[in-house]
Structure 1
Amino acid sequence: MKQFQAKTMVWLLILALCVTMTATGCLRQAPGETPEEGAETREVDVVVIGGGGAGLAAATAAAEKGASVILLEKGAFLGGNTILAGGAFNAVNPELQKKEEINPALMSELEELLEADEEEFGDFAETLSVLKEQIREYIDSGETSLFDSIELHMIHTYLGGKRTDLEGNEIASDFELAKTLCINAPKAREWLEEHGVEFNDQIGTVLGALWPRTNNVVGGGKSYIDALSQAAESQGVEILLETRGRELIVEDGRVVGVKAENADGETLVFRANKGVVIATGGFGANPQMRAEYNTYWENMPPDMKTTNSPNITGDGIEMAKAVGANLVGMGFIQLMPSSHPETGSLFSGVWGSAETQLFVNKEGKRFVNEYAERDVLSAAALEQEDDLFFIIADQQIVGDRDISDLLERGDVYQADTLEELAEKIGVPPENLVAEVEKYNSYVDNQYDPDFGKENFGNRIEVPPFVATPRSPAVHHTMGGVQIDTQARVLSEEGQPIPGLYAAGEVTGGIHAGNRLGGNAQADIFVFGKIAGESAAEGK
C-alpha cells in the first residue's frame, strides 16, 4: 500500500509539473534530445537551420543585432527553394505604381470591393472598411494611376487564401500574420536593397498574384542568396554546408540547441544561448508527407513532380512537432500550374506576365482564365488530357532573349505561323488559329465571355510564335508550424515555445489554403528578418 501511495505521489507531482508547463507553453520532451556523449559541441547565441532565403535573412538579422550565429544547411550549397525562384516579390510600391495607368478591369475590381459585405470577411472586416474609404477617395480624386495600399494587399491575401478542403474544413489567413506580412513587405524590400539586392523599375503581375504589385528582382532568386550570404558572412555568421538538423535539444522547458549530422554521418551538437530558428522550408519534395497530409487535391498523382529543391522534405516541421509545436493548414498544398512536364522546373520556357498569357490544351482550345489563382489554374490543367497545356506567346514576349538553348532541348517550340506551330506541338492547326483569333478579339474588347479574364496584355500576332509545354507540379506546402507576429513557434496550447522561432515555408497560417504569386518572397524575408531579430533579442 505504501509503495502504491509513493508511486501515486510521484505521478501527481509529474501531473502538476505538466499543468504548470501547459500554462507557460508546454514543451514536449522528445526521445534522444540529450546531447550524445563525445559528440562535438559548439556554443553560440543563435542557431539557424536552413540556408535558403528565410534562413539567410534570419542569420543576417540576428548577427546585425550583435548575436553570434551558426547557420546549418542540409545541402551542398546555399539557396533552398529561393535560388530556384524567379524572385517575384509582392510589396506595395507607390513610386513605381504611380507610373502605371489603372485599366478598366482593375477599376472594376475596386468597384466590386465597394459592394463587398464586411460580415463575410471575418477578422478582415475592419480592413475592408478602411479599404473602401481609400477606394472612394481614389475614385473621387479622378486619379488615373494605379491604386494600391497595404489594406488592399491584405484583402487580396485573405481572398486568395480562403479555401475549403475535401473534408469541408475552411481555412483563412491569420489576420495578425497577414497584416505583419503586408505592412513589412515594403520595408523588407528596402532592407534587401541595402544588402545589395537590385530590383528593376517595373511593377508586374506574376502568375497568381491578383494585382500589379510584383517587384522584380534583377537576376532571379539567386540574387537574394548571393547578396544575403555575403551579408551574413560579413557579419561573422558561420555557415556549415552538408549539415542536417536532426533534433531539437530541450532543457527545462526551453529549446537550447540542435543535434545535427554532417556528411560523414557524425553527430554534432550546437547549443544556442538565445534561440534556434527553423527555416527548412516545407515538404514539397517528400511524397510520403504529401500523401499523409493532403486533403485538398482529389486527383493529385503520388508521383507528381515538384518545383522544389530535393532537400525540402519537411525536416523542420517534424523537429518542431516532436517538441510540441502546433501545426496548421497541413492538408493544403499549392501546385504550380506552369511547370516543366518532365522535371517540374519553373523555368525553361517563354511567357510574359499573367495579363499576356494564353493557355491552350492538346486540342488547341483555351480552358481557363489565365489571370486566376494558382490552385484554380492547376485544377483546370489537371482536367486536360495528360495534364498538359501550352503557353502561347509571340515575338513581343520573346523580345531580344536568346532562346536557342530552349529550342535545342525541346523545352519550347517556335514557328513563323500559328499553323506551323500547331503542327510542331501536335494540336489541330485550325483550332489553334481560331483560338488565337478569338483571344485577340477579347484583348481588343477587354472582355472575355468564355472564362471571365479581365486583365489583358498585347495581342498575340507578331511572328515568330512560341509554345511552351507545361503541367502542374507541387510548389508550396501551405501548412506548417504555427508562429506569432514575432516568429515565435507556438505550442499546441497556443503559447510560445521558449527559444524556438521559425520563418518561411516551414510555417503555416499566413497564406491559408492558397498563396498569391509573389507573396512567398515577401514572406521569407519579412519573417526571416523578424525571426532572426527575435532570437537575438530573446523575445
Structure 2
Amino acid sequence: MVSEVVRDGTKLFEFTVPVVVVGAGAAGLVAALAAREAGAEVLVLERDVVPRGSTALSAGLIPAAGTHWQKAAGIADTAEAFAADIMAKAKGEPDPDLVALVTREAGPAIEWLGARYGLPFSVVADFSYPGHSARRMHGLPTRSGEELIDALRGAAEAAGIDILCEATVTRLYADAAGRVTGLAFTRPDGSVDEVGCGRLILACNGYGGNKSLVREHIPSLADALYFGHDGNKGDALLWGQALGAATRHLPGHQGHGSVAHPVGILISWATITEGGIQVNLAGERFSNEATGYSEQAAEVLRQPDGLAWTVFDGRIAAITRQFEDFKRAEAMGAVITADDLPTLARRMNVPADTLTRTMAAVDAARAGTIPDAFGRDFTTTRPLAAPYCAVKVTGALFHTQGGLVVDATARVLDTSGHPLPNLYAAGGAACGVSGSKAAGYLSGNGLLTAVTLGRVAGAAAARPDDGLAASVA
C-alpha cells in the first residue's frame, strides 16, 4: 500500500478525534497515555492484530538516569552523565538539545509508568552495557520487549484509550498550510475508513522494513537480516517529507551482531561485555567486539557466510538467563556447551587448534602479557572457564535512527526550522540521538526516544496551546 498525502483543504470528515496516534508500539502507547492523562480524547491506529511493533522484538530495556531503582541499588548517575555518554558514542553528531531533553525526561518517564500504571521496573545491576558510564538499563521482570508492550497495552486499555487494530493508515489529508486534517486507513477486507484529527502523532517507527529505502540510506545492510517489524515501511518519513518536514541522519541505525542463527533469537550482549568473544567459522576473532553491538552487525556480516560464533562460559550464561530470549534460545538448542575447548570446537565445527590458539591470545591480553590484536581491553573481565558455551549468530538491522526533525515538544519541524501546524513524531519516526552511523548507537537509544518523546508528544498534543511549553515533568 502506498503512503501518500492529499492536499485538500475542503475535505470533511464524519467525526474528528482531538489526538490521533499512528502506531501502537512503546512510543505510540506512551504518547496515548500522556495525552489521555492530560484530558484529551485519543485514538490509536495499529496495523497489527494486537499491538506489538519493534518493541516486542527488543529486550525491552530503557536507559534512564537518577531513578529510585538506581539509588536503591547504590548506583550513582545523573542525566548530565547520561547525555555525555550519548554524545561521546555518537562523536558529537546528535542535537545536544534533544539529547538533553531525552536524558532529562527518561527517569521521570519510567517512574511515572511505574507509579501511575504499575509497570514493575527494576535496574539491570549485574552487568554494564558498552558506552554507559553507569548501570542505567531498566526493564520489567522477564527483560523482554513482549512483556513491556503487553504492560503498556494493558495500561492504555485500563485508561479507556481506544486502540483500533488491523487499521493500516495509507493516506493523510492536509490543507494548504500543511495542517493535517485527517487520515484514511485500510482494513483487512480492503474497506477504507476516514477520521479527522486535531493533532497527529506519528509513532510508526522508521524505514527498516522498506528495502528500497534501506538500500538508499544504509547500503552496507541492504541484504542483511531485518530484525524489526515488517510494518516499518517508512510511512512517517514519507508523509513528513511530503508535508515539507526536515529530516536528519537518515543513515543512522541500530544493528546487532548477535542474533542466533538460524532460529532468529536475540542473544544479549552481556555475553560479550562480561568477557565473551566472537570468532568466525574458522575459529578466528575478527574485531573488537566490545565497541558496541550495533556496529558489530556489519563486522559479522563481513565474515564468510555472514556468520560468527559468540563464545562465553557458564558464569556468563547464568547472568544472561535473566533475559527471556536467552532462555528460549537455550530451550531450542541454539546454545551449545562443552567441558573443554577442543570439544566445544568440534561441536561448533571449527578447527580446534585455531580456537584454542585464539583463546590463548585472549588470555594473554587479559593478563597484560601482550596487547590485544584488535585493541580490546580484556583486563577488566574474568577469564572464561569450563563449562564453555557458544551460539552461532548473524548480524541484523534492528531499526533506523534517522528521521523527522522535532523540537522540544516533539513537534515536527519544516526545512526552515519552523514547526508544522499539528504534527508530532516520536520513537523511530523522529530523528534520534545516535547520529548518522551504526557506531553512534548507544544501547537503549531506541526505547529511550520512544518513551521520552512519546510522553512529550502526548502531553504537548493534548494542550490547547499547540504544545508551545517544553516540559512534561
Q: TM-score w.r.t. structure 2 length? A: 0.86
> How far off its partner does 1:98 sit?
6.5
| TM-aligned CA distance change 1:306 to 1:158, over 3 Å | same
Match of 1:187 in 2: 108
For residues 359-395 of structure 1, what are the alpha-carbon distances to aligned partners after superposition, in whole Å with 9 as ceiling and x for unaligned?
A: 1122222222222134542343233222221111211
1:263 corresponds to which letter in structure 2? P
2:386 corresponds to which letter in structure 1? V
User: Which of 144, 150, 175 is equivalent to 1:226?
Assistant: 150
Deviates more, 1:353-362 or 1:264-273: 353-362
Residue 266 of structure 2 aligns to a residue in which SS? coil
Match of 2:445 in 1: 519
Residue 385 of structure 2 aligns to a residue in which SS? coil
Deviates more, 1:206-215 or 1:82-91: 206-215
| TM-aligned CA distance change 1:372 to 1:535, over 3 Å | same
> How far off its partner does 1:187 sit?
1.1
Within-5 A mapping of 1:247-286 = 247-251=171-175, 253=177, 254-273=179-198, 275-286=199-210
User: Which of 147, 150, 157 is equivalent to 2:86?
Assistant: 157
Please give the alpha-carbon distance, in whole angstroms, between the structure 1 residues aligned to 2:78 and 2:411. 27
| TM-aligned CA distance change 1:226 to 1:334, over 3 Å | closer
Please give the alpha-carbon distance, in whole angstroms, between the structure 2 residues aligned to 1:408 and 1:487. 42
1:338 corresponds to which letter in structure 2? S
> How far off its partner does 1:354 sit?
1.9
**Would you say the 8 A contact 1:359–1:370 is kept in 2?**
yes
2:260 corresponds to which letter in structure 1? H
| TM-aligned CA distance change 1:189 to 1:352, over 3 Å | farther
For residues 112-162 of structure 1, what are the alpha-carbon distances to aligned partners after superposition, in whole Å with 9 as ceiling and x for unaligned?
A: xxxxxxxxxxxxxxxxxxxxxxxxxxxxxxxxx866432222122112223
Q: Which runs of 5+ in 1 are unaligned?
A: 1-28, 101-144, 163-170
Match of 1:214 in 2: 136
Task: State whether structure 2 residue 267 is matched by structure 1 residue 338.
Answer: no
For residues 453-501 of structure 1, what are the alpha-carbon distances to aligned partners after superposition, in whole Å with 9 as ceiling and x for unaligned?
A: 33643321031x2111111111221211111110001112211011110
2:290 corresponds to which letter in structure 1? Y
1:450 corresponds to which letter in structure 2? A
Match of 1:412 in 2: 335
1:527 corresponds to which letter in structure 2? L
User: Which of 197, 212, 215 is equivalent to 1:291?
Assistant: 215
Please give the alpha-carbon distance, in whole angstroms, between the structure 1 residues aligned to 2:133 and 2:298. 21
User: Which of 40, 54, 59 is equivalent to 1:81?
Assistant: 54
1:262 corresponds to which letter in structure 2? R
> How far off its partner does 1:527 sit?
0.5
Match of 1:243 in 2: 167
> How far off its partner does 1:327 sit?
1.5
Task: State whether structure 2 residue 454 is matched by structure 1 residue 532.
Answer: no
1:329 corresponds to which letter in structure 2? H
Match of 2:471 in 1: none
Match of 1:398 in 2: 317
> How far off its partner does 1:240 sit?
0.5
For residues 389-448 of structure 1, what are the alpha-carbon distances to aligned partners after superposition, in whole Å with 9 as ceiling and x for unaligned?
A: 111121112239598864574522222222111111111112222322433444455985
Match of 1:53 in 2: 26
Match of 1:5 in 2: none
Please give the alpha-carbon distance, in whole angstroms, between the structure 1 residues aligned to 2:303 and 2:62. 30
> How far off its partner does 1:174 sit?
0.6
Please give the alpha-carbon distance, in whole angstroms, between the structure 2 residues aligned to 1:530 and 1:56. 12
User: Which of 170, 174, 195 is equivalent to 2:95?
Assistant: 174
Residue 523 of structure 1 aligns to a residue in which SS? helix
Task: State whether structure 2 residue 41 is matched by structure 1 residue 72.
Answer: no
> How far off its partner does 1:208 sit?
4.3
2:240 corresponds to which letter in structure 1? A
**Would you say the 8 A contact 2:338–2:386 is kept in 1?**
no
Match of 2:399 in 1: 476
| TM-aligned CA distance change 1:267 to 1:46, over 3 Å | same
For residues 254-297 of structure 1, what are the alpha-carbon distances to aligned partners after superposition, in whole Å with 9 as ceiling and x for unaligned?
A: 22222211222222112123x11000011111111111223xx5
Match of 1:125 in 2: none
> How far off its partner does 1:209 sit?
4.1
> How far off its partner does 1:33 sit?
4.9
Match of 2:271 in 1: 352
**Would you say the 8 A contact 1:210–1:371 is kept in 2?**
no
2:52 corresponds to which letter in structure 1? G
Residue 181 of structure 1 aligns to a residue in which SS? helix
**Would you say the 8 A contact 1:350–1:393 is kept in 2?**
no
Please give the alpha-carbon distance, in whole angstroms, between the structure 2 residues aligned to 1:405 and 1:226. 18
| TM-aligned CA distance change 1:46 to 1:332, over 3 Å | same
**Would you say the 8 A contact 2:276–2:384 is kept in 1?**
no
1:77 corresponds to which letter in structure 2? V
**Would you say the 8 A contact 2:94–2:433 is kept in 1?**
yes
Match of 2:16 in 1: 43
2:279 corresponds to which letter in structure 1? V
Please give the alpha-carbon distance, in whole angstroms, between the structure 2 residues aligned to 1:97 and 1:453. 28
Match of 1:121 in 2: none
Please give the alpha-carbon distance, in whole angstroms, between the structure 1 residues aligned to 2:459 and 2:61. 24
Match of 2:120 in 1: 198
- Paired residues in the alignment total 450
**Would you say the 8 A contact 2:124–2:135 is kept in 1?**
no
Deviates more, 1:334-343 or 1:232-241: 334-343
**Would you say the 8 A contact 1:92–1:153 is kept in 2?**
yes
1:182 corresponds to which letter in structure 2? T
Larger gyration radius, structure 1 or structure 2? 1
Task: State whether structure 2 residue 292 is matched by structure 1 residue 373.
Answer: yes
Match of 2:65 in 1: 92
Please give the alpha-carbon distance, in whole angstroms, between the structure 2 residues aligned to 1:48 and 1:323. 17
| TM-aligned CA distance change 1:531 to 1:201, over 3 Å | closer
User: Which of 335, 342, 348 is equivalent to 1:425?
Assistant: 348
| TM-aligned CA distance change 1:197 to 1:444, over 3 Å | farther
Please give the alpha-carbon distance, in whole angstroms, between the structure 2 residues aligned to 1:494 and 1:261. 33
Please give the alpha-carbon distance, in whole angstroms, between the structure 1 residues aligned to 2:62 and 2:327. 29
Match of 2:470 in 1: none
| TM-aligned CA distance change 1:306 to 1:466, over 3 Å | same
**Would you say the 8 A contact 2:254–2:400 is kept in 1?**
yes
Residue 505 of structure 1 aligns to a residue in which SS? helix
Please give the alpha-carbon distance, in whole angstroms, between the structure 1 residues aligned to 2:377 and 2:72. 21
Match of 1:118 in 2: none
> How far off its partner does 1:243 sit?
0.4
Superposition CA RMSD, Å: 2.8
Match of 1:502 in 2: 425
Residue 287 of structure 2 aligns to a residue in which SS? coil
Query: What percent of counterpart residues are identical?
Result: 29
Within-5 A mapping of 1:427-442 = 427-442=350-365
Please give the alpha-carbon distance, in whole angstroms, between the structure 2 residues aligned to 1:534 and 1:160. 30
